[in-house]
């Protein structure tokens, strides 16, 4: 692991389409990126985390018209009232928020695509075929599925289950087919460039079937970035949107802050995307970069869908749940913990209130929260709230130390493959072991002897538990930033070691960091149990 890298660790989410308010599917991706970048910051790395909104296209234009406002007014309202506030709701710390209606983006898009045209990668032709307005995507007939119910007899988009439109228009095209062999060679030489493995196999299989050139402009509506060499056209929303990852960090700037930022940041280390937009990001996007002579992203990671009632989270299907609906009950830390612990990142996962309530009570309230409460209460009771000097540890204590060292190393390694669930589950299992250790050692019974030897043994047990909680707090801080700050204060970490966000996560496995004399502070319950009507 290189923590002295010269390049900034750069992570992006997709830019989210602003025809409606965000749901927990959007929050899931954004939290994953936030946890990943917090983790790398706590490794001592320079980090840049980008998220934002995709604001052009026919769907936004139609939605704005249906609401009786201009597209710009519509997107301004949604961004200010819904998309920016949700970042605070889910405790995301992003470094930049890009909007595709910003001048910095639009000018850089125009310049870059004009350069591709000048180099011969873009030409004019006509298109006739199916188009899914929900996806804002041109589709091949082999990608469509037969409609059911009211749409029986129609060909439908497999994602939205609604009939596609048949459109015919003159557009500018990108010579995507020219890049098929280069993309295959790139992915065969860099098998981690698309993850998980199922996504890699899908992309490689798709490439080997051959590619067709794709539209880079639209001419039947005007809500988009104008094509500078043909003002009757606007750029196709996907070509506009994909470039955000590069325009946000100074694409095309030859001097000044933009050029410096691009040099230190590009290429992206991880593009987080939903699996439904994988081909845009793993086929069209790298081809666009190849055409401009730019380095390709190190990895595109396609996570699975959040399912409700067996269907993908979707406002249009009335399965969209606002993050606040969950966070108002469980809190933001539990929201972040649950979705990355319960669902394997890269696979589909189902959300249920019952499962979340059960995990909250069992793993957080009864597990981590109760352990912290018991330990600090006993330090207060037996040692006046200060950890004693320990002269000798028993074999059971050393086993906990060794278990934590293995746990911390495994969790840190899991994060390198974006296996959030494995990292969090390993830490959770250590908390279980620490709870079991405390129960087995029974310091409250040992203390009844009131001898020096007995109290020395109690001190060793409680110091072991608090030291375990120190490591847990550090490694769970990227996942649960609020409750781990509270835990850190309860075990005395703030006073003894400094702010938790300044602790090195790659050193969290070192044992014996809390010094003797550390003052603990029994505080409020980290995770108050839910009453039945809440759960």
Residue numbers annotated as active site: 23, 26, 132, 135, 157, 160, 312, 315
Alpha-carbon span 197 to 481, nearest angstrom:
31
Residue 19 three-state SS: coil
- The pairing of strands 214-215 and 165-174 is antiparallel
- The pairing of strands 217-218 and 194-195 is unpaired
- List b or e across 301-316, with b for residues whose CB sees 16 or more CB atoms inside 10 angstroms: bbbbbbbbeeebbbee
Distances (CA, A) of 337 to 14, 222, 268, 334: 21, 43, 26, 5
* Residue position matching structure tokens 């990355």: 340
Which residues lie closer than 8 Å to 220 by C-beta, 6 or more apart? 58, 167, 169
Question: Concatenated DSSP letters for 231-291?
Answer: TT-EE-HHHHHHTHHHHTTTTT--SHHHHHHHHHHPSPSEEEEEGGGHHIIIIIHHHHHHH
Residue 298 three-state SS: coil
Alpha-carbon span 491 to 506, nearest angstrom:
20
Closest alpha carbon to 470 in 437, 430, 441, 436: 430
Alpha-carbon span 37 to 50, nearest angstrom:
10
- The pairing of strands 96-99 and 122-132 is unpaired
Cβ–Cβ < 8 Å for 244, 271 = no
**SS3 sequence of 59-96:** HHHHHHHHCCCCHHHHHHHHHHHHHHHHHHHCCCCCCE
Residue 516 three-state SS: coil
Alpha-carbon span 374 to 57, nearest angstrom:
56
Closest alpha carbon to 86 in 24, 161, 18: 24
């Amino acid at each position: 692991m290189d923590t002295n890298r010269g390049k900034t660790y750069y992570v992006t989410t997709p830019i989210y389409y602003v025809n409606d308010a965000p749901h927990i599917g959007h929050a899931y991706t954004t939290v994953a990126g936030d946890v990943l970048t917090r983790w790398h910051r706590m490794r001592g790395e320079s980090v840049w985390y980008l998220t934002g909104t995709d604001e052009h296209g026919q769907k936004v234009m139609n939605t704005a018209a249906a609401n009786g406002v201009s597209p710009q007014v519509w997107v301004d309202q949604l961004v200010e009232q819904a998309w920016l506030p949700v970042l605070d709701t889910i405790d995301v710390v992003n470094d930049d928020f890009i909007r595709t209606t910003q001048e910095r983006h639009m000018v850089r898009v125009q310049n870059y695509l004009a350069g591709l045209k000048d180099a011969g990668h873009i030409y004019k032709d006509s298109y006739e075929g199916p188009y899914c307005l929900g996806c804002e995507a041109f589709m091949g007939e082999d990608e469509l599925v037969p409609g059911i119910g009211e749409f029986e007899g129609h060909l439908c988009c497999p994602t939205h289950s609604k009939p596609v439109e048949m459109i015919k228009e003159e557009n500018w095209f990108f010579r995507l087919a020219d890049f098929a062999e280069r993309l295959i060679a790139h992915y065969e030489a860099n098998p981690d460039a698309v993850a998980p493995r199922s996504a890699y196999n899908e992309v490689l299989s798709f490439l080997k079937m051959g590619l067709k050139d794709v539209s880079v402009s639209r001419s039947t509506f005007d809500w988009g970035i104008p094509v500078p060499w043909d003002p009757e056209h606007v750029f196709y929303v996907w070509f506009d949107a994909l470039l955000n990852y590069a325009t946000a960090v100074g694409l095309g700037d030859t001097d000044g802050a933009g050029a410096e930022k691009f040099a230190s940041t590009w290429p992206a280390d991880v593009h987080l995307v939903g699996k439904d937009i994988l081909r845009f990001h793993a086929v069209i996007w790298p081809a666009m970069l190849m055409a401009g002579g730019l380095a390709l992203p190190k990895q595109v990671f396609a996570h699975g869908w959040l399912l409700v009632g067996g269907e993908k989270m979707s406002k249009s299907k009335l399965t969209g749940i606002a993050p606040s609906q969950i966070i108002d009950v469980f809190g933001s830390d539990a929201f972040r913990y649950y979705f990355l612990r319960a669902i394997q990142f890269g696979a589909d996962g189902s959300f249920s209130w019952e499962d979340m309530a059960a995990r909250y009570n069992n793993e957080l309230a009864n597990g981590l929260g109760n352990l912290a409460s018991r330990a600090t209460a006993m330090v207060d009771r037996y040692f006046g709230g200060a950890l004693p000097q320990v002269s000798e540890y028993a074999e059971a204590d050393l086993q906990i130390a060794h278990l934590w060292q293995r746990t911390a190393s495994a969790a840190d390694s899991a994060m390198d493959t974006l296996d959030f669930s494995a990292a969090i589950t390993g830490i959770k299992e250590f908390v279980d072991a620490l709870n079991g250790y405390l129960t087995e050692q029974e310091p409250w019974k040992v203390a009844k002897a009131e001898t020096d030897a007995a109290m020395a043994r109690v001190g060793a047990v409680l110091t072991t538990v608090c030291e375990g909680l120190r490591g847990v707090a550090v490694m769970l801080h990227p996942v649960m930033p609020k409750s781990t700050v509270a835990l850190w204060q309860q075990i005395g970490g703030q006073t003894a070691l400094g702010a938790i966000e300044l602790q090195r996560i790659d050193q969290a496995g070192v044992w014996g960091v809390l010094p003797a004399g550390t003052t603990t502070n029994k505080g409020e319950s980290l995770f108050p149990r839910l009453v039945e009507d809440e759960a």
